[in-house]
């Protein structure tokens, strides 16, 4: 399918992304990425959301309330594993401070993570309140920085440098003209596959290569995690948002993920369509709105599969080599990848 003009999650109108990148000394390589479904007061103007858990070996604060209520009432934050509680606390403080929220007594902060402990001092929990606040306040529409930024600063994917990646797909007018945007925080392993080509094997870096007669290294392990955030302007109810989130797993699988025991893989999908927005000022006990039917979902499924696959590739292709915490993780060697794809007749 064609991409949106930015090929980013921000191709979905209203969505904003902000990031704080922390690179300090020899061992701090971490950060925060904030995804805002819209620029208003998220608590007062909520969006419907659905979560799919591919493998629950991770920490996704706020997920149970989203599952129960189907509503997202804060920006979505991504960060480092041990910084999730601090980021959630900072997000709650930020939301409580907003004009109009003076009487709010409960905030369901949504914070996801991947483990950046190979390149960063994860035990130090270096995320500070201003890092969260800055990521949210700096959020904007338009192009999104990818690679070694924000929550992707210290991540590793398939033994190469991972990071933040994004992509989008736009349905043709005959199918509604809707846009699906995806943003990922890649930090997982397996056998890197691009457009069907066994890139990881041909580069000599892949899961289980010891068992295949090669020398095993830490970077060849398949553990890790992947956070996938999906935005769409299609008017979807919570049930179909969950179904949409589930298809992100198919896109992740196309990249060669081994879905390992130690890989915490989560997808969060939300709709920005005005007709499905939830206003706390609405005191009515009933709602009437139009949403897409089940039969209209298949093109959106294809869009999120393609978008997730590309976003993961982009997270690696835009990343740079990083040294930190006593280790070095190389960026994916793009020239060699292009050569492999040409050999498999998958690129010009």
224: domain CATH number? 3.60.70.12
Cβ(258)–Cβ(209) below 8 Å? no
Question: What is the overall mean pLDDT for the chain?
Answer: 94
The answer to whether residue 265 is catalytic is yes
Is the residue at 3 inside a domain? no
Is the residue at 307 inside a domain? yes
pLDDT digits (tens, 9 = 90+) for 85-136: 999 999 999 999 999 999 999 999 999 999 999 999 999 999 999 999 999 9
Q: What is the pLDDT of residue 287?
A: 81
Give which of 306, 305, 340 is closest to 205, Cα–Cα. 340
The answer to whether residue 83 is catalytic is no
**Whether pLDDT at 247 is above 70:** yes
**Whether pLDDT at 213 is above 60:** no
Parallel, antiparallel, or unpaired: how do β-strands 327-329 and 110-114 relate? unpaired
| Cα–Cα–Cα angle for 82, 88, 93, rounded to 5 degrees | 140
pLDDT category, 337, cuts 50, 70, 90?
A: very high
Scored b (16 or more CB within 10 A) or e, 76-110 reads: bbbbbbbbbebbbebbbebbeeeeebeeeeebbbb
What DSSP letter does each residue of 194-248 carry, written as one string? Answer: BTTB-HHHHHT--TTTTTTTS---GGG---EEEEEEEEE-S---HHHHHHHHHHH
pLDDT digits (tens, 9 = 90+) for 30-49: 999 999 999 999 999 999 99
Residue 135 C-beta-side C-alpha neighbours within 13 Å: 30
Q: What tokens does 247 get?
A: 């298809």
Altogether, the residues listed in the chain come to a count of 348
Whole-prediction pTM value? Answer: 0.95
Cβ(22)–Cβ(30) below 8 Å? yes
Is the residue at 4 inside a domain? no
Could you give the CA distance from residue 21 to residue 312 in angstroms, rounded to a whole number? Answer: 19
The answer to whether residue 282 is catalytic is no
pLDDT digits (tens, 9 = 90+) for 180-212: 999 999 999 999 999 999 999 999 988 887 665
Domain count for the chain? 1
Is the residue at 110 inside a domain? yes
Judged by average pLDDT, the poorest of 161-165, 210-214, 313-317 is 210-214
**Whether pLDDT at 243 is above 70:** yes
pLDDT category, 52, cuts 50, 70, 90?
A: very high
Cβ(242)–Cβ(51) below 8 Å? yes
Cβ(165)–Cβ(186) below 8 Å? yes
Between 222 and 42, the more confident residue is 42
pLDDT category, 234, cuts 50, 70, 90?
A: very high
Cβ(37)–Cβ(231) below 8 Å? yes
Cβ(221)–Cβ(183) below 8 Å? no
Q: What is the dihedral of CA 221, 243, 299, 227, to 10 degrees?
A: -30
Angle between helices 84-96 and 129-137 (to 10 degrees): 60
Q: What is the pLDDT of residue 284?
A: 81
**Whether pLDDT at 345 is above 90:** no
Could you give the CA distance from residue 37 to residue 50 in angstroms, rounded to a whole number? Answer: 13
Q: What is the pLDDT of residue 223?
A: 85
> Per the residue annotation, which of 90, 145, 220, 265 is the catalytic one?
265
Q: 287 lies in which domain range?
A: 9-343
pLDDT category, 252, cuts 50, 70, 90?
A: very high
> Per the residue annotation, which of 80, 225, 257, 315 is the catalytic one?
225
- DSSP-derived secondary structure letter, 143: -
> Per the residue annotation, which of 168, 257, 263, 315 is the catalytic one?
263
Is the residue at 100 inside a domain? yes
Is the residue at 2 inside a domain? no
Could you give the CA distance from residue 16 to residue 38 in angstroms, rounded to a whole number? Answer: 7
């Amino acid at each position: 399918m064609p991409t949106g003009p930015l090929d980013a999650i921000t191709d979905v109108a209203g969505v904003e992304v902000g990031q704080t990148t922390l690179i300090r000394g020899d061992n701090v390589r971490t950060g925060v990425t904030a995804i805002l479904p819209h620029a208003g007061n998220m608590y007062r103007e909520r969006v419907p959301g659905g979560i799919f858990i591919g493998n629950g070996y991770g920490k996704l604060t706020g997920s149970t309330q989203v599952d129960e209520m189907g509503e997202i009432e804060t920006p979505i934050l991504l960060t480092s594993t041990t910084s999730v509680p601090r980021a959630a606390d900072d997000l709650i403080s930020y939301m409580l401070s907003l004009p109009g929220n003076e009487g709010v007594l409960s905030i369901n902060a949504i914070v996801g993570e991947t483990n950046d402990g190979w390149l960063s001092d994860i035990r130090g929990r270096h995320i500070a309140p201003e890092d969260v606040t800055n990521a949210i306040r700096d959020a904007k529409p338009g192009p999104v920085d990818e690679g070694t930024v924000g929550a992707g600063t210290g991540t590793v994917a398939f033994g190469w440098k991972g990071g933040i990646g994004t992509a989008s797909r736009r349905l043709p007018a005959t199918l509604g003209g809707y846009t699906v945007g995806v943003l990922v925080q890649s930090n997982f392993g397996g056998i890197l596959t691009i457009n069907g080509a066994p890139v990881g094997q041909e580069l000599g870096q892949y899961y289980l290569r010891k068992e295949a007669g090669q020398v095993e290294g830490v970077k060849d392990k398949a553990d890790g995690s992947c956070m996938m955030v999906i935005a769409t302007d299609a008017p979807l109810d919570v049930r179909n948002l969950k179904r949409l989130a589930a298809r992100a797993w198919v896109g992740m699988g196309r990249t060669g993920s081994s879905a390992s025991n130690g890989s915490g893989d989560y997808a969060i999908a939300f709709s920005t369509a005005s007709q499905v927005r939830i206003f706390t000022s609405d005191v009515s006990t009933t709602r009437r709105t139009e949403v897409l039917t089940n039969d209209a979902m298949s093109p959106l499924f294809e869009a999120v599969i393609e978008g997730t696959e590309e976003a993961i590739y982009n997270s690696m292709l835009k990343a740079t080599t990083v040294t930190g915490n006593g280790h070095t993780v190389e960026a994916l060697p793009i020239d060699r990848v292009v050569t492999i794809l040409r050999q498999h007749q998958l690129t010009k």
